[in-house]
Amino acid sequence: MKRRRSNTENLDSLPTEQPNPRSADLDTKSSLEIACLINAEDATVAATVARALPQTAKAIDWIAESLANGGRLIYVGAGTSGRLAALDAAEIPPTFNTAPTMVQAIIAGGAGAFKRALEANEDSESSAVREIKKRRVGKKDVVVGIAASGRTPFTIAAIRSARRAGAKTIAITCNPATELENAAELAIVMETGPEVVCGSTRMKAGTAQKMALNMLSTGAMVRLGYVYGNLMVNMHRSNSKLAERSIRIVQQALGINKDEARSAMQRASNSMPAAIVIAKAKVGRAEADRRLKAAKGNIRKAIAQHG
């Protein structure tokens, strides 16, 4: 596929690429002044992200529905955006004990781009289309394209390909009225403006993107019932620290002491969801497992079930 040229290649008009007048003399500042200036700019990000919360909430609904029906959440990005996407995807299985395929990331340049910059790959539309086809993206999936500029050819091509395949498509960008926004069905636009270091969108734009990704993945997992109250009850117990944390979580969920929590976990073969359902619904292990399966892992729904 030939690379498509458009006016989006002109960076001059993008707010994220403009010089920031508040940091014009950055190189004359002391270390404390530099830190204060960066901190002051960072303090504006949360309010910017807040203005896109209605779109973010709609995206969470789409993702939760997709995952509940056997679909996948697939992030696509290049450079900083791709690395942030890969980080979020990698942290979902240990946090919520999900299959590694449930939340995935496609990064321009492949796995090697996570460790070192391979920014030239962001121009390859054909490789983006290949990745979407290789993963057999379809109607059950949600594909999220992330690009601060909103003009990254790799990400735009992936979103267009995913949309043609019938997937729900979402754009996350830090500039308004971009080609990525137009390519997707839903756009989360967070206008972070000029960076402290001109054009370095790993800064405010990167922070905004990380915040948005946190909300999308965590929000979807909460909607699926992988959180009980605000407790991380589906966490993967992969080391001694996490095993101890699981005991504390069961303590908090059931309002019992540590010894009682250990006994509850033993009765449930170290399954936090089963331990909570057994105690709350006053049922045996087999019934707890049946309820959890019927509720697709949603603990609150499993507790509320009748035999």
Decide if 9 is catalytic. Answer: no
Domain 7-223, CATH number (from 2.60.40.180, 3.40.30.10, 3.90.1150.10, 3.40.50.10490): 3.40.50.10490
What local confidence, expressed as pLDDT, does residue 238 receive? 77
CB burial string 132-142: b at 16+ within 10 A, e below: beebebeeebb
pLDDT one-digit tens code per residue, 215-266? 999 999 999 999 999 999 988 787 888 889 999 999 999 999 999 999 999 9
Indicate which residue of 17, 33, 41, 122 is catalytic.
122
Which of 10-14, 27-31, 44-48, 226-230 is the least confident region? 10-14
CB of 171 closer than 8 Å to CB of 181: yes
What mean pLDDT comes out for the span 118-133? 81
Asked if the model's pLDDT at residue 148 lies above 80, the reply is: yes
Two domains, one topology: 7-223 and 240-304: no
Helix (H) or strand (E) holding 130, with range, is helix 125-134
What local confidence, expressed as pLDDT, does residue 240 receive? 86
- The residues, ordered by sequence, that sit 6+ positions from 79 with a Cβ below 8 Å of its Cβ are 108, 113, 117, 119, 122, 152
What local confidence, expressed as pLDDT, does residue 110 receive? 76
What mean pLDDT comes out for the span 274-282? 96
- CA distances 266 to 54, 240, 250, 276, 291, Å, are 43, 16, 12, 12, 19
The two structure tokens encoding residue 289: 């497992």
What local confidence, expressed as pLDDT, does residue 116 receive? 62
What mean pLDDT comes out for the span 8-22? 82
What local confidence, expressed as pLDDT, does residue 13 receive? 84
Domain 240-304, CATH number (from 1.10.8.1080, 3.30.750.24, 2.20.130.10, 3.30.420.40): 1.10.8.1080
What local confidence, expressed as pLDDT, does residue 242 receive? 85
Helix (H) or strand (E) holding 186, with range, is strand 186-189
What local confidence, expressed as pLDDT, does residue 124 receive? 81
What local confidence, expressed as pLDDT, does residue 239 receive? 83
pLDDT one-digit tens code per residue, 76-118? 999 999 999 999 999 999 999 999 999 999 999 877 665 665 5
Residue spans of the domains in the chain: they are 7-223, 240-304
Please give the model's pTM, rounded to 2 decimal places.
0.91
Laid out side by side, the sheet with 186-189 consists of: 103-107, 73-77, 142-146, 168-173, 186-189
- The residues, ordered by sequence, that sit 6+ positions from 116 with a Cβ below 8 Å of its Cβ are none
What local confidence, expressed as pLDDT, does residue 1 receive? 37
Higher per-residue pLDDT: 48 or 241: 48
Decide if 91 is catalytic. Answer: yes
Asked if the model's pLDDT at residue 62 lies above 70, the reply is: yes
Alpha carbons 147 and 198: distance in angstroms, whole number: 17
Q: Which of 288, 245, 248 is nearest to 267 (CA)?
A: 288
Indicate which residue of 17, 33, 65, 91 is catalytic.
91
pLDDT one-digit tens code per residue, 181-205? 999 999 999 999 999 999 999 999 9
6: confidence class by pLDDT, cuts 50, 70, 90: very low
